[in-house]
Amino acid sequence: MSAFVLLARPWWVNLLILAPAVPWFLARKQRLAIVRTRLIWAAAFGIAFGFVEAAVVVYLRAATGLLPVPQTDKLIFVPPTLLRLECFREAATMVMLIAIAWLAGKNACERAAAFLWTFAFWDFFYYVWLRVAIGWPASLLTPDVLFLLPVPWISQVWFPLLVSGLTIVAVRMRS
């Protein structure tokens, strides 16, 4: 079991802890008017897409012989072609999350909140589905590569789960 590590790398990834404050800032004058059913469907998309993301990671790990060791230990052994494909997949994921947010909200504030909401469900359930599928991560202290663009973002699993959980609560309380 790994020791607790407070800060993610690179340093600016730690600024994600501010993400839950965005809905509070956006809705400081009035509550967000996102229809509850749109939030439910956006959450359903996030949960389902978290499964797709987890499945892709399992496939990548199996294809590279890394199943189920933590990504941070063996990232350098992923063939460049697969690593490049993974970067494009991550970019496509962001486009899909932005598209869902665009459809869910009526203005920039609502779209930003819907993006954070959907992203939070996607990210949270990504770890849930990996745990169900392959028993990984072993603990909340397990290190992980959170994202590859523009450089690898590395943190223990507790960090994205905390940010996602707080973001879900913040958006729900402001809508």
- pTM value is 0.86
Please give the pLDDT value at position 117: 96
The answer for residues whose C-beta is within 8 angstroms of residue 2's C-beta and 6 or more apart is 139, 141, 142, 143, 156
Q: How confident is the model at residue 114 (pLDDT cuts 50, 70, 90)?
A: very high
User: Which of 92, 96, 100, 98 is closest to 40 using CA atoms?
Assistant: 100
Residue 15 has pLDDT above 80, yes or no: yes
pLDDT 10s digits, 119-133? 999 999 999 999 999
Domains of the chain, residue spans: 33-174
- CB distance 129 to 51 below 8 Å: yes
What confidence tier does 71 reach under pLDDT thresholds 50, 70, 90?
A: low
Tens of pLDDT, residues 21-55: 988 887 877 788 888 899 999 999 999 999 999 98
Model confidence at 63, pLDDT cuts 50, 70, 90, reads confident
Q: According to the model, what pLDDT value does residue 101 have?
A: 93
State the pLDDT confidence band at 5, using cuts at 50, 70 and 90: very high
DSSP conformation letters of the chain: -PPP----BSGGGGGGGGTTHHHHHHTSSS-----HHHHHHHHHHHHHHHHHHHHHHHHHHHHHT-TTS-HHHHGGGS-HHHHHHHHHHHHHHHHHHHHHHHHH-SSHHHHHHHHHHHHHHHHHHHHHHHHHHH---SSTT-EEEEE-SSS-EEEETHHHHHHHHHHHHHHHHH-
